Amino acid sequence: MDTTINKNEKILISLENRLSEKIIINKNMFDSKSVEKDLNGNLNPTNLLNEKTFNQKIIMSFPEFNRAYVEINEKELRMFAQKNYPTMEFGTLTTDLIGDYRNYKVPKTFLGGLEARLYRTQLSIYTEYHAYYMCKKVFINQPVLRDVMMDKLGADFSITYPNCLYLIHFMSDTKRAKLFRNEKEQNKNSNGIKGLHVNILYDYRHDANGLHACKILKNGMGVVTEDYIKYFKSEIENNNIANNVKGKINIIGVNEKGFIYGEVKSTSTGIKCDVCKIGEIAEKNSEHGKFYACNNYPFCRTIYIKNKDSQFIIKNAANKNN
């Protein structure tokens, strides 16, 4: 057992050092969301990331990943851009993503918007990769597994403990991430794999308030802590996870005391969205209560409210299809 613990500890130390060396945090990449349509099939960036990260154990810098992805898929990307973003200039691969690019500004071209999209995807995969190995360390000698098909259905990895299969959906505790999880469940059958599907949410803000969920690496990147995964394991051992998830309850939030459990659902009203004309207004629940939004997420993020006559009024229109 000690050998296995030491092996996983060495993997995590090496991984954190490589992430700190390879990844530069650029806040501009988080703000640019001009290219948001699904990249499916050969264009799915997780294909390249899965091969390099999980199969070859290579941590790529973002410039390396961005260039490799565009060069492999340039022909299909041009067709994708022409179909979905016909008024946007395609652009060229930038030569500015070298050295310290933390102040790099995203070009207003298709490839510029794609850069920002790929940057966020890469960070998400690397955060998941770190969490996967942290779970392998904490759930010592228990099966912690992942594969491409599981990933395509939306489950990041699975844990069998002690004799129950948990499908882990690892994500940040944000409204955007949780809405996206809802839409994957509805449209991509992300709950199609048999087992208990568990949302593990992390929120950097609660570290100072008693729940040590995340730690910040030297480069500013946040990763999950061993304490947090041990807390998740204790929730399994206390039957809090199984008792809630079997009752259609899941983790819908996290605070300084731990997980917040509640019902997560999205029920369509059958009324077409006034903004995108494709999705329908759906009733959704979150830890903040009930709200109404278009279910054509992430392409349409329009939020609705009901007036005194029970009619839906647009509160915030945000259609990424335009």
What's the pLDDT tens digit per position in 269-292? 889 888 888 888 888 765 455 788
Alpha-carbon gap, residue 315 to 312, rounded angstroms:
9
Q: Which residue has the higher pLDDT, 241 or 247?
A: 241
Taking the whole predicted model, whether its pTM rises above 0.85 is answered as no
Q: What does pLDDT average to over the chain?
A: 83
Quote the pLDDT of residue 321: 43
Quote the pLDDT of residue 188: 45
What's the pLDDT tens digit per position in 118-139? 999 999 899 999 999 999 999 9
Residue 53's φ and ψ, nearest 5 degrees, are: -80, -55
Joined tokens for residue 205: 């803000």
Assign 210 a pLDDT band (cuts: 50, 70, 90).
Answer: low
What's the pLDDT tens digit per position in 217-234? 999 998 999 999 999 999
Quote the pLDDT of residue 35: 94
What's the pLDDT tens digit per position in 64-88? 999 999 999 999 999 999 999 999 9
Using CA atoms, how far residue 221 sits from 21, 65, 127, 144, 318, in Å, is: 11, 17, 9, 24, 28
Cis peptide before 86 (omega within 30 of 0): no
